[in-house]
Amino acid sequence: MTDWKKCLKEFCKHNAGEVQRLTYELCAIPAPTGNERRRAQYCLSYLRGHGAQAYLDEAGNVVFPYACDGPEKVLVFAAHMDTVFSEDTPLCVREEGEKAFCPGIGDDTANLAVLLVLAAWFAQNAPRTKQGVVFVCNVCEEGLGNLKGTRALMQQWAERTRMFLSLDCTCEAVFHRAVGSKRYRVTAHTEGGHSFSAFGNTSAIEVISHLVENIYSIQVPRHGQSTTTYNVGLIEGGTSVNAIAQTAACVCEFRSDDEVCMAQMEQTFEKLFAQAREKCLSLDVELLGTRPAGKNVPEDEQARLTAVCVDAVTSAFGQPPRLSSASTDCNIPLSMGIPSACFGCLVGGGAHTLEEWIQPDSLGPGLLAAALTLESLL
């Protein structure tokens, strides 16, 4: 073991308090998706205050490349700054028993704090690592942010990125596969008419109902260990009980952790849309959002990264995490064939609710888990 690894472990033992302090301060700074500017300024000042040559990129990410001057490949180590909560959500940390409550405290503020504390340690101690690491506080992970921050980051760093590690969620799971998704709003238009005198005219409700029925008859594709799903989450339309509906619409999606299945589902959806289109005057298909799944990720490298994360979480928390698929910032690098994984540095719950909480006690093991992954990978 090189000396810096010993030093880092020692540092982790004594700095859980700093992670907690930083978490509470960051919690108070609103950071709705697309408006992370103030939180980014705080992160930038924190890093620069510790001697890091950090900068803001065009997308609004805070980026600190450490030992990345050579041509060698690097590790990207990220945590997102944005939360699902609006600007006017009261943000004040409340401690009760073993828990600390605040919207956004676990997703992803405490993980962001862990990342900042580690990045600051690297800036101050300048360890001699075998490869460089790019520390990133990124924007737009949540909601309809469409992973804008990571997309922009990867545009710049993909060529040089060997692996991508994101701190997100809790220590219960290591996410090693990306769930891709595609979401549509489909609106049918027909001539409609009076329910008695124009009986026989096509109803937009009938067209959409048929479409929904057809979606629910899809046999989802399988490819290796993949999981693929679909859902129609909303339908609306029509005018009155005695009117043949002129418009009706549905909002539907499919998801998969496999890019081959994603492509097959897209074809199937397109075919069903085309069938529906033949039955009405016009059919509008609006794409509401898209997230890619993994594609051509080298399996041995992915397995190695996953094992490093699982070992780190297990040894820091004393309990092995489960392996799972999710939709996170890792979707972007995974779609480019870059091994990626994600785990959280805390025990917590209630993510995306006003009752969100963490156990401050878990931040010590969390800091150690993140440090252990860096030790193994760098």
Binding site for Zn ion (CB under 5 A): 107-108, 168
Least distance (Å) between residue 147 CB and Zn ion: 11
Least distance (Å) between residue 83 CB and Zn ion: 8
Best CA proximity match to 116, nearest among 48, 165, 57: 48
CB atoms within 10 A of CB 263: 15
Best CA proximity match to 306, nearest among 211, 179, 205, 177: 177
Q: Nearer to Zn ion by C-beta: 82 or 375?
A: 82
Q: Nearer to Zn ion by C-beta: 108 or 258?
A: 108
Give the DSSP letter string of 160-229: GEEEEEEE-S-TTEEEEEE-EEEEEEEEEE---EETTTTTTSPPHHHHHHHHHHHHTT------TT--EE
Q: Nearer to Zn ion by C-beta: 108 or 356?
A: 108
Least distance (Å) between residue 310 CB and Zn ion: 20
Q: Nearer to Zn ion by C-beta: 310 or 351?
A: 351
Tokens of 123: 């800036």
Least distance (Å) between residue 237 CB and Zn ion: 35
151 with 164: CB under 8 angstroms? no
Q: Nearer to Zn ion by C-beta: 18 or 107?
A: 107
Least distance (Å) between residue 168 CB and Zn ion: 4
Residue 140: left (phi > 0), alpha (psi -120 to 50), or beta? Answer: left
Q: How far apart are CA 31 and CA 33, in angstroms?
A: 6
Least distance (Å) between residue 75 CB and Zn ion: 20
Count of alpha carbons within 13 angstroms of residue 378, beta-carbon side: 27
Q: Nearer to Zn ion by C-beta: 356 or 375?
A: 356
Q: How far apart are CA 207 and CA 202, in angstroms?
A: 8
Q: Nearer to Zn ion by C-beta: 81 or 261?
A: 81
Least distance (Å) between residue 166 CB and Zn ion: 9
Q: Nearer to Zn ion by C-beta: 23 or 129?
A: 23
- Name residue 343's amino acid: F
Least distance (Å) between residue 342 CB and Zn ion: 9
213 burial type by CB count under 10 A (0-12 exposed, 13-18 middle, 19+ buried): exposed
Q: Nearer to Zn ion by C-beta: 75 or 346?
A: 346
**Interacting residues of 266 by C-beta distance below 8 A, sequence separation 6+:** 182, 254
Least distance (Å) between residue 322 CB and Zn ion: 17
Q: How far apart are CA 11 and CA 364, in angstroms?
A: 11
189 with 226: CB under 8 angstroms? no
Q: For residue 329, is the peptide bond before it cis, meaning its omega torsion is within 30 degrees of 0?
A: no
Q: Nearer to Zn ion by C-beta: 203 or 327?
A: 327
Tokens of 365: 């093991």
- Cα–Cα distance list, 191 to 45, 251, 282 (Å): 61, 22, 10
CA angle 151, 155, 160 (to 5 degrees): 120
Least distance (Å) between residue 111 CB and Zn ion: 8
